[in-house]
Structures are given as C-alpha cells and as structure tokens.
Amino acid sequence: MSYTGVQVLDHPLIRHKLTLLRNRNTTHKDFRQLAEELAGLMTYEVCRNMRTRSCPVETPLEHYDGQELENEVTIVPILRAGLVMAQGMLDMIPHARVGHIGLFRDETTLQPVEYYCKLPDSVHDSDVFIVDPMLATGGSASKAISLVKERRPRNISFCCIIAAPEGIEVLQRDHPDVKIVTLEIDRQLNENGYILPGLGDAGDRIYGTK
Ligand code: PRP
Ligand code: URA
C-alpha cells in the first residue's frame, strides 16, 4: 500500500528488525533495543533534506571546507512509547534538543488525553521530529503536532514505526503540511483501535507493564 506524501523506508535490515519487533515472543529487553535501533536507522533517511552550511576546519594536515547542520534539531517523543525512538535518534544526532509530550488514549473513546508538555524554547527555530512507534487512529499524533505548531517551528516530520491507513488519513486531513515517515503501513485497525497485524501495545511491550 502506498500513500502520496508518506515516506515508507524499505530496507532489508529494517524488514528484518521489524519482523523481530512484531514477534509476540520477543522479550521487553529485545523489544526496547530493536525499537531504538530502528529509530537510529530511520534517522539517516529523515535527515536527508536538512540544510547544511559551510564549516571550514583545519585537519592536522591542511584546510578543509566542511559542512555542518544549519538548523537546530528538536526531537519530541510522545510518552511513553516514543522515548525509545527518541534515544535511537539521539544516538545519531547527539546535539539535538528534546521536548516531551505526554498523551494517553482513553480506552473507551480512543481520544488522546494530555498530561504533560515541555518543549525547548528553541522549537520555533528548529527542524522538529515528533516520534511515536504507532500511528493508529491518529488522535495522539494530531494532538502532538498541534501542540508543537503553537511554537511555530521551521518544519515538522512525524516519524513512526508502523502506521495504519486510518491514522494517515487523519494526519493528512489535520496537518497536510507535516511529512509522515514510517517503516511500514499496516492493513487496518481492529474494533479496539489496535493496528493489524501490528505489534500490540507498544508502551506495554517496551516497559513490560502487561
Ligand atoms: C499508544 C502509542 C501512541 C498511541 C497511538 O500510546 O504509543 O501514542 O497509542 O494511538 P492513536 O493513533 O490511536 O492515538 P498509548 O495511548 O497506549 O499510551 P502509552 O504510551 O502511555 O502506553
Ligand atoms: N497503540 C499501540 O501501542 N498499539 C496499537 O496497535 C495501537 C495504538
């Protein structure tokens, strides 16, 4: 399945790790590590169009006309599950700032409930990556993007591991200007708002809470 405006990162190593991640027999420890590694791999591609500027340096031997990233980078995990993705990205962009948005889905209405929001002042001048492994109904991602947009960042990408068609449609309706990057697009949601085939509840699998 392909969606205009959604970037799906297909790579043999990503397919391999994503299959391990989905496996119900994968332990919490391995799940955490795999999710972090997948986010690290994703970082390479989501940074492809970042602007760079001249950064001349002296090597031990001679002058070199180098380059450095031009803009601030802010990574915003949606708590809880986004935290491991943020760590995977930070391993690749250690100078990035980190904002946190706390949201959980009300189990009955499936609507996002906000409980925390702390964003760096510099967000208005940043390339922002909002990260959450799961884009299901799209409610959490849409709410998080609205909170970040209040700070007027340069641009926002929403990065997830698995996206459902329903969530993509909601994000493209609410935030057509935001780029969606995912590793796979799954078939559909079930009656409880879980992604099929999916990987279950990402937060519970990461933290072993169920
Ligand atoms: C999960 C997931 C997303 C959200 C996606 O979090 O990490 O944030 O559900 O669902 P949606 O697209 O339908 O909004 P959850 O609400 O389970 O909170 P948790 O991370 O605290 O477990
Ligand atoms: N949140 C999850 O963690 N998993 C899903 O399948 C849907 C929402």
Q: How confident is the model at residue 77 (pLDDT cuts 50, 70, 90)?
A: very high
Whose C-alpha lies nearest to ligand 2, atom 3? Answer: 201
Cα of 108 to ligand 2 centre, how many Å? 14
Between 122 and 95, whose confidence is greater?
95
pLDDT tens by residue, 29-63: 999 999 999 999 999 999 999 999 999 999 999 99
At 102-154, the pLDDT tens digits run 999 998 999 999 999 999 998 998 999 999 999 999 999 999 999 999 999 99
Partners of 189 in the beta sheet?
A: 195
Contact 184, 197 (CB under 8 A): no
Domain residue ranges in the chain: 6-207
Considering the four listed CATH numbers 3.40.50.2020, 1.10.3720.10, 1.10.10.10, 2.70.50.60, the one that applies to the domain covering 6-207 is 3.40.50.2020
Query: For ligand 2, is residue 112 a contact (CB within 6 Å)?
Result: no
Query: Is a pLDDT exceeding 70 seen at residue 1?
Result: no
86-90 contact pairs (CB < 8 A, 24+): 86/39, 86/131, 87/36, 87/39, 88/35, 88/36, 88/37, 88/38, 88/39, 88/40, 88/42, 88/43, 89/39, 89/40, 89/42, 89/43, 89/129, 89/131, 89/159
Nearest CA to ligand 2 atom 7: 194
Average predicted confidence (pLDDT) for the chain: 96
